[in-house]
Amino acid sequence: MHPDYEPITGRPAEIALAARRLIAERGFEGLRTRDIAARVGINVATLHYHVPSKEALIELVARSLRDDFVAQNVTRPRKHLPALDQLRLEFLDFRETLVETPEIFIVMTELTERARRDEKVKAVVGPMLAFAHGELARILALGSEEGTFRADLDPEAGALMIFGTMVATQRSPRRGPELFDRACAELLRSVQAQPPESGLAT
């Protein structure tokens, strides 16, 4: 698709992974090339042989996240499912990442922040976020059409709401699977159309 769309492999992949972990632990401010090299088990000069500068390194990290993102999205032919199921699968994907590689979110957040001042990072992170957001909006619009979701749902705003809630859940000091599940439940209640018999009970 894109001209530079070669997935990262070999040493650069190892470097990107080590960098991601260190960013998750210490943030960008605490990121040191020496530490990355040490964690990979190579000399700093070798690190520079593969990644010419720190700027390039951060780009590499961004591209590495995109690789993971793409890998996840590529293997999911679910567009034929009902909107509600699709949304639930999105939640499951998020949950899985949350449990298995929580570092991804931290790094993603840092990168998003950094994208504000770094055009190269923006060029990688921006489309990724736009895609994720677009997928959610698509699902919401589909659900409204199906009648499963509220008719007055604003897909764009709803996507923002879902995305923001996921991130906030992840950031909360009380973060964890239970909180995540409560947040998902709340989101589902928020977007779904009220059952017709709602007038009788309550």
The residue among 81 and 129 lying less far from a copy of itself, judged by its C-beta, is 129
The CA–CA distances, whole Å, from 137 to 13, 141, 146, 201 equal 32, 6, 14, 31
Q: Give the Cα separation of 11 and 75 in Å (integer).
A: 25
Q: Does 154 bind a copy of itself (CB under 8 A)?
A: yes
Identify which range of 17-25, 30-38, 71-79, 149-157 contacts DNA by CB under 7 A: 30-38
Q: Does 131 bind a copy of itself (CB under 8 A)?
A: no
Helix (H, G, I), strand (E, B) or coil at 86: helix
Burial of residue 38 (number of CB atoms within 10 Å: 0-12, 13-18, 19+): middle
Q: What is the DSSP letter of 81?
A: S
Helices (H), 101-154: 103-115, 119-146
Yes or no: say if 173 and 131 are a contact pair by the CB < 8 Å rule. no
Which one of residues 113, 134, 135, 148 is an interface residue with a copy of itself (CB under 8 A)? Answer: 113
Which one of residues 21, 48, 138, 150 is an interface residue with DNA (CB under 7 A)? Answer: 48
The residue among 45 and 151 lying less far from DNA, judged by its C-beta, is 45
Q: Does 68 bind a copy of itself (CB under 8 A)?
A: no
Q: Does 32 bind DNA (CB under 7 A)?
A: yes
Footprint of a copy of itself (CB under 8 A)? 25-30, 106, 109-110, 112-114, 116-117, 126, 129-130, 133, 150-154, 156-158, 160-161, 163-169, 171-173, 179, 182-183, 185-187, 189-191, 193-194, 196-200, 202
